[in-house]
Chains A and B, each alone.
Chain A
Amino acid sequence: MRKLGKIAIPIVGSAALLFGMTGTAFASATITSGGAPYTGDVLGTNLGNVTLAGNSFLGPIINTCTSASLGAYTKYDGTDGKLNSVSISGCTNNRHGTTTVTATGLPYIGGHVDHDPVSGGRDGKIVIDAPNSAVDVKAILDLPDWGLMGVECHYGLTTSTPLSIDVYNPSNSNKPEPSNPHGQGKLAGQSLQFISGDSVCPASASANGNFQIVTDPGGADLELGA
């Protein structure tokens, strides 16, 4: 008999979040910075908490992380995007424990950026292609309320449904955090699927969060256009 140790997967959600940000730099449209086409690294930094959640028979496990940053590369036309680094920290969960989220197997390659404006909403979207065998987000959960510590779950993109992140240009008044002057990304209810780990890990994880997106280094704004 083996200890159940893993019930939750919330961490996975966060990993997915990270993916989205990085993997695909902006493509399929034109990405500029300072009026010139931009090819290079970009940095996504969370605006407010990033949350990740997975289900269990005793209710959802919701992880709230106070810090998240994603380092990615993109070509000016949005192709060849790579997610090179992921850092998520300060995660606690609603079962009075902590959660550690780590993205392994980086860089994650695959995806594109579309200029796909929506009236009153986004300017485009980052799409992480799926399935993507490179994606492996590890979540280790301590769940004191349920007597479970060190539950390890791995999540990836195993279905044909891509992961999508809405992108807002700096001048878009409908961006998630209007008081932040930079371009932003919004991850809302995107899912990652269980790939390995404890038998009790949630089958899917959902991630939510807002990010500012700038060049790295330099911190200059990026613009997504047609």
Chain B
Amino acid sequence: MRISLRRRLAAGTAALTLAGSLLGAVAAAPAASADTLPDFDFSACPDLPADADPQFWQCNIAVTYGGTFKLGSIETTIESPITLVYANGFDPVTYEPKTVFGSFKASKFLVQPGLFGDPFVTAIYAQPKYAGGLNTDGGKLNLNLTVSVQNPLLGSRCSIGSSSAPIALQLGIGTTNPPPPNTPISGEPPVVVSTNPVVLKTTVVDNAFAVPRADKCGLDLGLENWLVNLYAGLPSAAGNNTAIFKQYASFKPYTELS
């Protein structure tokens, strides 16, 4: 099927918007504020490995409620919560750390309104997706993401990054050491904002990650990858991208979960 120029232009715009949305992947649902804590549902906690000692494992729920996400030439303010559930623990003798992924939920967010006011055909949405690699090595929250770019003209599998080449974030509290042009930034140490359950407020950051090119945009074949890449400035080398995630985090030891 041939795609009209008008549609292609609309798609191009959408793609650009997409980049913006990508960044925004964070915001979609009602934004949590510093005064309104999100609900923490520990029923979604993953099962532990068979050999895990529950005394040394905990389930964590991290809700990113604000911040910014700059990918290439697109910078988005996070306005909708992104919720990550995971378990982590260690072997009490060897101290080998382990992490088990639970779930990752982020609403799609509007990157660009429809050119004709329509919410479907020409509007562009983006939605962050978990792409593996979750661990806490180095005292950081490390995880891989892709950003799904959603518009009928871009196909059903358009994304920024892929499972084989994801956006690899290493989110930490301490000061970063990025390549230029970025300069070091720091997160915010955790502060207790609630004790029942314990809820911490913190900011984790990373501005030393790279953003890969678009993947499978346009009939799922990559025909429109160039458009997304052009708009978003992809691929974007390390030193040109920034994640500042403001989070509420809660946790429970597995001895309290049954």
Mark A residues whose CB is within 8 Å of B: 1-4, 7, 51, 53, 55, 57-60, 62, 94-95, 144-148, 188-191, 193, 198-200, 203-204, 206, 208
Residues facing A in B17-34 (CB within 8 A) are none
- Give complex CA distance A188, B200 in Å: 32
Q: From residue B60, how far is it (CB to closest CB) to chain A in Å?
A: 4
A199-B256 Cα distance, complex, nearest whole Å:
15
7 A-B pairs with C-beta separation under 8 A: A7-B190, A53-B92, A55-B58, A57-B60, A60-B95, A145-B172, A204-B56
In the complex, A183 Cα to B193 Cα: how many Å? 50
Contact of B255 with A203 in the complex, beta carbons under 8 Å: yes
Chain A: which residue is nearest B57 at the CB level? A55
Contact A94 B253 (CB under 8 A): no
Give B161-183 interface residues, CB cut-off 8 Å to A. 172-174
Chain A residues lying within 8 Å of B256, measured Cβ to Cβ, are 203
A14 CB → nearest B CB, Å: 13
Q: A59-B139, A60-B56 are in contact. List 10 more A-B contacts (CB 8 A).
A: A1-B192, A2-B191, A3-B191, A4-B202, A57-B251, A95-B139, A147-B174, A189-B92, A199-B198, A204-B255
Q: Does B226 contact A (CB under 8 A)?
A: no
Q: Contact between B136 and A148 (Cβ–Cβ < 8 Å)?
A: no
Q: How far is the CB of A59 from chain B (nearest CB, A)?
A: 3
Please report the C-alpha to C-alpha distance between residue A137 and residue B189 in the assembled complex, in whole angstroms. 25
The distance in angstroms between the C-alpha atoms of A55 and B57, with both chains bound, is 7
User: A-B pairs with CB below 8 Å: how many?
Assistant: 111
Partner of B56, one of A1, A51, A55: A55
**Least Cβ–Cβ distance between A176 and chain B, in angstroms:** 13
In the assembled complex, B104 has its CB within 8 A of some CB on chain A? no
Closest CB in chain A relative to B59 CB, distance in Å: 9
Q: Are B200's CB and A189's CB within 8 A?
A: no
Assess whether A148 is in contact with B189, with CB atoms less than 8 Å apart.
yes
In the assembled complex, which residues on chain A have CB atoms less than 8 Å from the CB atom of B202? 4
Q: Are A4 and B62 in contact (CB under 8 A)?
A: no
CB of B195 closer than 8 Å to a CB of A: yes
Write out the residue numbers on chain B whose beta carbons fall within 8 Å of the beta carbon of A62. 95
Chain B 84-118, CB within 8 Å of chain A: the 1/0 string? Answer: 00001111110101000000000000000000000
Q: What are the residues of chain A within 8 A of B201 when measuring CB–CB?
A: 1
- Count B-side interface residues using an 8 Å CB cutoff: 41
Asked if A206 meets B139 with Cβ closer than 8 Å, knowing A2-B192, A4-B190, the reply is no
Q: Is the CB of B193 within 8 A of A1?
A: yes
Taking the closest CB of chain B, its distance from the CB of A95, in whole angstroms, is: 6
Q: Are A57 and B90 in contact (CB under 8 A)?
A: no
**CB-CB < 8 A to A146: which residues of B?**
139, 173-174, 189-190
Does A51 lie within 8 Å of B60, measured CB to CB?
no
List of B residues within 8 angstroms of A208 by Cβ: 92-93, 95
Query: Which positions 63-99 of chain B face chain A at CB distance < 8 Å?
Result: 88-93, 95, 97
Identity of the chain A residue whose Cβ is nearest the Cβ of B96 in the assembled complex = A60
The residue on A at minimum CB distance from B194 is A199
> At the interface, yes or no: B220 with Cβ under 8 Å from chain A?
no
Q: Is the CB of A191 within 8 A of B55?
A: yes
**Residue B249 at the A interface, CB < 8 A?**
yes
Neighbour of A57 across the interface among B62, B93, B188, B195, CB < 8 A = B62
Contact B88 A148 (CB under 8 A): no
Cβ contact of B137, chosen from A7, A59, A200, A203, cutoff 8 A: A59
B8 at the A interface (CB under 8 A):
no
Cα–Cα, bound, A208→B91 (Å): 11
Closest residue on chain A to residue B252 by CB atoms: A203
Asked if A4 contacts B200 (CB within 8 A), the reply is yes
Convert B129-140 into 0s and 1s, putting 1 for each residue whose CB lies closer than 8 angstroms to a CB of A.
000000011111
Across the interface, which residues of A come within 8 angstroms of B138, CB to CB? Answer: 59
